Amino acid sequence: MLRLSKLSDYGTVIMAHMAREPARSVSAAELADAVGLAPTTVSKVLKLLTRAQLLGSRRGVHGGYALARSPEEISLAQVIAAVEGPIGVTECGAAAGLCAQEAACPSRASWLRVNRVVHEALDGVSLAEFARPAPPPATPVNLAAIHPGGGHTCAP
């Protein structure tokens, strides 16, 4: 199973929260309260996102953190890479030279293709899209209520 680290998940939660009010500057403590995470965890993630220039920070009374660009200009891939490092399903997909088997691996080219597809998919989702509320789940249709007797309605 492919799975992001908890810090990457927290990074997306924090960034999505900030994307809902992109012009607003917020403190680490305010963010921690808003997203329900420990202040130390939020501070750690904020430092990573700031280092990657996805957030800007200001000290002082009116300080805090704010998005460095509009949510439409930040991709989910950028957020994940800021926390995780290069995105890769396998070690050799994240960066060359990490695997001793790389030169003779018969699967490397295929994994590189998979890595590229995953990265492109994440890069194709903007923070603005990611931050939108999910649509409500579809309500199941009770066909027996619509057509008593359970028969189908198509003519023979």
Question: Could you tell me the pTM of the whole model?
Answer: 0.80
Q: Are 63 and 27 in contact (CB under 8 A)?
A: yes
Query: Which DSSP state fits 52?
Result: T
Average pLDDT over every residue of 128-155: 71
Confidence band for 149, pLDDT divided at 50, 70 and 90: low
Quick: pLDDT tens for 62-87: 789 999 999 999 999 999 999 999 88
**Predicted pLDDT of residue 3:** 84
Q: Are 33 and 45 in contact (CB under 8 A)?
A: no
Task: Work out the number of other CB atoms within 10 angstroms of the CB of residue 32.
Answer: 19
Q: Which domains does the chain show, CATH number per domain?
A: 6-131 (1.10.10.10)
Q: Letter for the amino acid at 132? A: R
Closest CA to 63 of 23, 26, 30, 22: 26
CA distance 49 to 63: 16
* Per-residue tokens: 130: 């990611």
Quick: pLDDT tens for 78-129: 999 999 998 888 877 777 777 778 788 888 888 889 989 999 999 999 999 9
Q: Are 77 and 123 in contact (CB under 8 A)?
A: yes
Closest CA to 37 of 71, 61, 13: 13
